[in-house]
Chains A and B, each alone.
Chain A
Amino acid sequence: MSTKKTLFDKVWDSHVVHQIENGPDVLFIDRHMVHEVTSPVAFLGLKNRGIRVMHPEKTFATADHNTPTINQHLPVEDPLSANQLKMLEENANEYGISYWGLGHEKNGIVHVVGPEYGITQPGATIVCGDSHTSTHGAFGAIAFGIGTSEVEMVLATQCIMQPKPKSMRINITGDLQYGVTPKDVALFIISQLTTSGATGYFVEYAGDVFKSMTMEGRMTVCNLSIEMGARGGMIAPDETTFHYVKGREFTPKGEAWDTAMNYWQTLYTDEGAEFDKELTFDGSQIEPMITYGTNPGMGMGISKDIPNAADVQGGASTYKKSLQYMKFGEGDSMIGKSIDFVFLGSCTNGRIEDFRAFASIVKGKQKADNVTAWLVPGSHQVEAAIKEEGILAILNDAGFELREPGCSACLAMNDDKVPPGKLAVSTSNRNFEGRQGPGSRTLLASPLVAAAAAVTGKVTDPRELMEKELA
């Protein structure tokens, strides 16, 4: 057997407590993030078994999924949401888990605050009862979403039982074009692989495009790994990573930092290590992307026309049902379609860089009258940066308001719901039927595309507005 190991192998193998023949591995978990929606039944299970949380110090709780994004200082109106939030707080207190609830300065979307406070570290195994836990793979961690039974497992034993996934490497070479963001790279990959193309695999992203990407960008890409079915995605840590991680509240300090660095610097795929599958794309061919259907794989370059059912993989009837829901036709161009809502936010695109990008387009323009815009920072830290950098002033001048942090219209568990039939350009991660509210229609896109739509009131290629700016 080859001794060459992939990045994934190195991290996975070093966390295997026990191997079951013809069964899963018992994997030790370094960090467990918990939120209000997928944890109550898990805590209830602990209670019923009469057991405690094994490692409360490796467990972190934040409230984000069903929280309101206005008036967070007031009691939560929806009694069911309020009850879930109360349960999380009680459970965190009962078991000695750090809890960053509504109003706490560290509150925010679980996948935004984890990295911000240094909970997310290279080489760690990280789980959370949320599929976009893959975000943390940006740091060279193995991070993936789990179900509630598994949340209970990790609370009780700090371990999870999973068969080792297959490995895939996706290389993107060359340079990205102007106006093409990490979100576009991810939507492009998913459009090529389809929503199930990486099921059963753990993905490593490699190549120049990722090397030159910021941590925020890498997080956006890894976040979307689940949308092609992958358990997760990761990028080897490098100077960009170490620089980001250093000095954060929960990152090692002093001697511990040096020890950690010694480990982290071994975290790369050995030359010659083999993957079960390897794909390479030319980054310079990627356009700003937009989706037109009801899964994230139904995406295309913004200047293209919606493909015909005959030309796509999978069943034509499912494809047609999807277009029917979206009220689009085969061969339609997306450019010029009138839109009703814009959502900037989520763990995919709710970081400071995303707000900078959005502001770069709307600066000096006005929000279109037909558009309702929800601008929701991923955390209080992002919110503070928006204010400090003067972005808030730009947004306000252009007729936009900033809301308070949370998942918001990404899954529309709170009041931020797109009404039936309305069309939203959203920087989040899922365009499933009704994801943003019953009957809502979602176009997934980058913050630049969202901004261009917000000021023009229709789907617009952001490069047009950017080029005018440059000229």
Chain B
Amino acid sequence: MAYDKFNILRTTAVPLPIENVDTDQIIPARFLKATERKGFGDNLFRDWRYNQDGTPKEDFVLNNPKYKGKILVGGANFGSGSSREHAAWAVYDCGFRCVISSFFADIFRGNCLNIGVLPVQVSAEFLQKIFAAIEADPNAEFEVSLEDQKVTILATGESEPFDINDYKKGNMTNGFDDIDYLLNIKENIQEFAKSTPL
């Protein structure tokens, strides 16, 4: 389905300085039983966020009112493990439009791009600067410009460019998705299908 257009995001950020955050942590398997894309945000980081009796764990960042914003900042190798797109849905449903890390797992990155959450990969040094800026001031704002492919720590003015291919950039800017594209070249595909051996 087509999604919101992404242009410039100027917001505070939520820090999660843990490495290898896998999609089982982002959303545990027992919450994958829905048949519609609704309500996954409630269970984002379920077992880090809530005790088994459902009470919030005070020390988890999402339960700390100091931290809010539309950017989630994670440690290296964010989104590893299971291919469940529900992880990206949960991130989106919780109000995040951008995830920043120094390294993303492939499938999670692709899933984010497919639903309109921008994965921004920065250097390990810049990631530390972002964490430091949030630690110094939880209200510190960041600007993510898709057009300029640049993320800026507004408090210090420091910025770093990030990569995204032109095709995906166009999709995100215009709120298009891949199926729109593929349906447009359907005849090519049908022609190709005739020649496949298997």
Contacts and interface: CB of A to CB of B under 8 A. Distances in A.
Interface of A: 15, 17-18, 20-24, 26, 28, 30-31, 37-38, 40-41, 44-45, 48-49, 51, 54-55, 65-66, 78, 80-81, 83-84, 87, 121, 123-124, 129-131, 145-150, 152-153, 156-159, 161-163, 165, 195-196, 199-200, 226, 229, 231, 259-260, 263, 295, 314-315, 317-318, 321, 411-413, 420, 430, 432-435, 438-439
A150 B110 contact: yes
Given A196-B77, A438-B28, A26 B18 contact: no
B29 interface: yes
23 contacts: A17-B192, A22-B166, A37-B32, A48-B1, A54-B189, A123-B197, A131-B82, A146-B83, A146-B107, A147-B107, A147-B111, A148-B86, A148-B111, A149-B114, A150-B114, A158-B193, A196-B77, A199-B105, A314-B19, A411-B24, A430-B22, A430-B24, A432-B22
Given A147-B110, A149-B111, A318 B18 contact: yes
A131 B188 contact: no
Pairs of residues from A and B, 6 with the lowest C-beta to C-beta distance, nearest first:
A23-B167, A147-B85, A80-B33, A149-B114, A40-B35, A147-B111
B182 A229 contact: no
Contact of A196 (B30, B105, B181, B188): B105
Interface residues of B, number: 58
Interface in B23-47: 24-25, 28-30, 32-37, 47
B137 to A, nearest CB: 22
Nearest to A413: B29
Given A17-B185, A28-B192, A229-B77, A161 B178 contact: yes
B75 interface: yes
A434 B35 contact: no
Contacts of B76: 196, 314-315
A38 B24 CA distance: 14
B103 interface: yes
Given A41-B36, A149-B85, 20 more contacts: A15-B196, A20-B167, A23-B167, A24-B168, A31-B198, A37-B33, A38-B83, A41-B85, A51-B183, A147-B85, A148-B111, A150-B114, A161-B181, A195-B20, A199-B105, A263-B197, A295-B20, A321-B18, A433-B25, A434-B25
B179 A156 contact: yes
B177 interface: yes
A413 B182 contact: no
B128 to A, nearest CB: 11
B47 A438 contact: yes
Contacts of A84: 33, 35
B106 A200 contact: yes
A423 to B, nearest CB: 17
B80 interface: yes
B52 A439 contact: yes
B66 interface: no
Nearest to B33: A80
A102 B183 CA distance: 34
A30 B179 contact: no
B73 interface: no
A367 to B, nearest CB: 27
A163 B165 contact: yes
A295 B22 contact: yes
Nearest to B19: A318
Interface majority SS (helix, strand, loop, mixed), chain A: loop
Contacts of A199: 77, 103-106
Contact of A38 (B77, B81, B85, B181): B85
A412 B19 contact: no
Contacts of B182: 26, 153, 156-157, 159, 161
Nearest to A150: B114
A113 B114 CA distance: 29
A196 to B, nearest CB: 4
A148 B47 contact: no
B166 A44 contact: no
B168 to A, nearest CB: 7
B151 interface: no
Contact of A149 (B77, B82, B177): B177
A76 to B, nearest CB: 11
A168 to B, nearest CB: 13
Contacts of A161: 167, 178, 181-182
Interface in B150-198: 165-168, 177-179, 181-183, 185-186, 188-189, 192-193, 196-198
A148 B84 CA distance: 7
Contacts of A121: 198
Given A314-B76, A432-B22, A18 B185 contact: yes
B76 to A, nearest CB: 7
Contacts of A15: 196
Contacts of B24: 411, 430, 432-435
A231 B30 CA distance: 25
Nearest to A322: B20
A189 B103 CA distance: 20
A145 B83 contact: yes
Nearest to B113: A149
B89 to A, nearest CB: 8
B168 A40 contact: no
Contact of B20 (A153, A259, A318): A318
Contact of B107 (A41, A49, A131, A430): A131
Contacts of B122: none
Contacts of A231: 106-107
